[in-house]
Structure 1
Amino acid sequence: MLTRRHIRVKVMQSLYSMKQTQSGNLDKEEKFLLFSIDQMYDLFLINLQLLVEIRKYEADFLSKSQKKYLATTEEKNPNTKFVNNELLMLLEKNEQLDTELENKKINCWQLDDEYVAILWKEIKESDLYKDYMHTKQSTFKEDKDFVIDIFKEIVAPNDKLYEYIEDKKLTWIDDLPLVNTSIIKMLRKIKPSYDESMVLPKLYKDIEDKKYARDIFRKTALNGEEYAKEIDGKTPNWDQDRIAELDKAIIKMAICEFVKFPSIPVKVTINEYLEIAKEYSTPKSSIFINGILDKISKEYQENGKLNKVGRGLM
C-alpha cells in the first residue's frame, strides 16, 4: 500500500518539523514518524468501514420503510440490489477488517453517522445509483463496478467528508490520495471466489520499506550539518539563510540517498525528490533543487563519493 515516495514525504515533513521546533530528540521524533505512517492504515480502514456503513444505512432505511403504517407497494417490496451487493457484503463479513477495527477501537461512523447519511443521500440521488437499480438482479462484476464508481465519483471527492477527515487528523489530508488509490486497487482485485478470510493489503510492502523509513530519517538527521555544507558553493546567488527549509530538507535527503543507500539509482533519487518539490514546495523549487543535485551528483561521481553498487545505478 505504502509507496517509497510517500515514505519520503513523511520523512521530509518530520525533518522539517524537527527544524521548526528545534527538537533534538531523535528517538522521540522517529517514534512519531512511524506513528504518523501507521495512522495511514487507520484512514484506510475507516474508508473501507464507511462503505460497509453506507450499505447498512440502506438496509435500515428499507426496513423502516416496510414498517410504515401506510407503506406503498414499492416500500413493502423494495429493490434490495444495493443491500445485497456482493462486494459490499464481502467487506462487511471480512474477518480481518472486523478484527483491525475492534483492536484499534475505531468506531467513528457510529459516533458521526451523519456523514454516512450524507453520502448515502448523494449516492441515492446519483445517476450511477439509478442506472444500477434499474434492474433487481446483477452479476458480481456489475456489483464491483458500481462500488468502485461510487467510491471514485461520490465518496472520495466529497467535500464534507474531506473536512471531517481534516478535523480528525490534519496529517490525513496528505495521506488521503494514496489511501483512496489503495482502496480502489484492492476493490478491483476482489473476486467472487473470495470469502470472509480475504486478506487486506499491508501498510508496508515489505520489511525493507519500513527499514528504509527509519534509515532515511535517522541518517539524514544525523548527517544534516555535513550535508548543509555540501550545499554551500552550489548556490552562488543564494545564501543558506535564503533557501527554504523545506527545500533544504529535500536536498539533504537526496544527498543522503546518494551516499548511504547503495541500491537506489541516482536518477531515481533526483526524480523522486523533484516530484516531491513540485507538489510540496514553491513553484521554482524543483528547478533550483535539480540544479544543486545535478552538481553534487556529478561532483560525487568524479570524486568517487557516490556509494552505488550494481549496473545502471550511477
Structure 2
Amino acid sequence: MYRACSRNVAYAFNQKKMKKKSKGSRAWSRVLATQALYQLSLNKDADISIVKKNLLNDKETKNVPDRNFFFKLVNETIKNKKDLDKKLEKAVKKKNFSKLETIIKVILELGLCEIIYFNNLSHKISIAEYNKVGGSFLNHKEVGLINSILDRISKDFQNE
C-alpha cells in the first residue's frame, strides 16, 4: 500500500548506495518516472512538462537521473498507455487490474514499457529495477506481485 508521500520515499531510495554519475542514474530515472506518472494519474489536468521539470530540477537530492532515459521512459509509457494497460489487464485479469492501487499500476506500466519498447535492456534487469522501485513504495507482498506479473509478461513476450 502506498503509505508515504512519494517525495520522502523517493529520496530514501538507495540514497546511500547510489553514486553520483556524470551521465546520470537510470535507477533514479525510474523512481522519478514513477513519481511523474503517479502524479499524472492523480491529477489528469497536470501538465506533464511541468511535472517532469519539477522532478528533474529538485535540488534536495544528490541523485542525478539519466535525463534522456527519463524523458524516453515517461514519453513512451504515456504514448503507449492504452496498449500497455491492455496487456496488463490480460495478464492480471481485467477485473483484478482495475482493483490494483494506482502506484502498482504505474510501476507495472513502466516496467512493461521497458520490456516491450527498450530493446537494448535486459528484461531481467528491468524487472529487478522495478522490484527496487516497488520496494521504496510498497510492502514485500506487493513487490512480489509486481515481480510475478512482469516476469510472466516478459516470458510471454520472449516466446512471441
What's the TM-score once normalised by structure 2's chain length?
Answer: 0.77
User: Over residues 87-106 of structure 1, what are the superposed CA-to-partner deviations in whole Å (9 max), with x where a residue is unaligned?
Assistant: xxxxxxxxxxxxxxxxxxxx
Aligned residue in 2 for 1:214: 71
- Per-residue CA distance 1:239-288 (angstroms, 9 max, x = gap): 12211111111111111111211211111100000111111123311111
Quick one: distance in 1 between partners of 2:120 and 2:29? Answer: 17
The one-letter amino acid of 1:233's match is K
Q: Deviations over 1:122-155 (max 9, x none)?
A: xxxxxxxxxxxxxxxxxxxxxxxxxxxxxxxxxx
245, 248, 251: which is aligned to 2:105? 248
Match of 1:300 in 2: 157
How many Å apart are 1:238 and its aligned residue?
Answer: 5.9
- CA separation in 1, counterparts of 2:81 and 2:93? 20
Work out the CA distance in 1 between the residues paired with 2:90 and 2:121: 26
Q: How does 1:218-233 map to 2 (within 5 A)?
A: 218-233=75-90
Whether 1:38 aligns to 2:86 is no
Query: Sequence identity of aligned pairs in percent?
Result: 21
Instruction: Say whether 1:289 aligns with 2:146.
Output: yes
Q: Is it true that 1:266 corresponds to 2:150 in the alignment?
A: no
- 5 Å-filtered alignment, 1:85-96, equals none
Q: CA–CA distance in 1 between the matches of 2:25 and 2:82?
A: 28
Matched with 1:4 is: 26
Query: Which secondary structure state, in structure 2, belongs to the residue aligned with residue 225 of structure 1?
Result: helix
- The answer to whether the 8 Å contact 1:270/1:290 transfers is yes
Counterpart for residue 17 of structure 1: 39
* Greater relative CO, 1 or 2 (CA 8 Å, sep 6+): 2
Q: Secondary structure at the match of 1:263?
A: coil
Gaps of 5+ in 2: 1-19
Runs of 4+ residues over 4 Å off in structure 1 = none
One-letter amino acid matched to 2:38: Y
CA contact (8 A) 2:36 2:52 kept: yes
**Partner Cα distance (1:277, 1:3) in 2:** 17
Further displaced range: 269-278 or 233-242: 233-242
Instruction: Say if 2:134 and 2:143, in contact at 8 Å, map to a contact too.
Output: yes
Higher-Rg member (1/2): 1
Distance in 1, Cα, partners of 2:40 & 2:139: 20
The number of aligned residues is: 138
Q: Secondary structure at the match of 2:90?
A: coil
Contact 1:30–1:217 (8 Å) recurs in 2: no
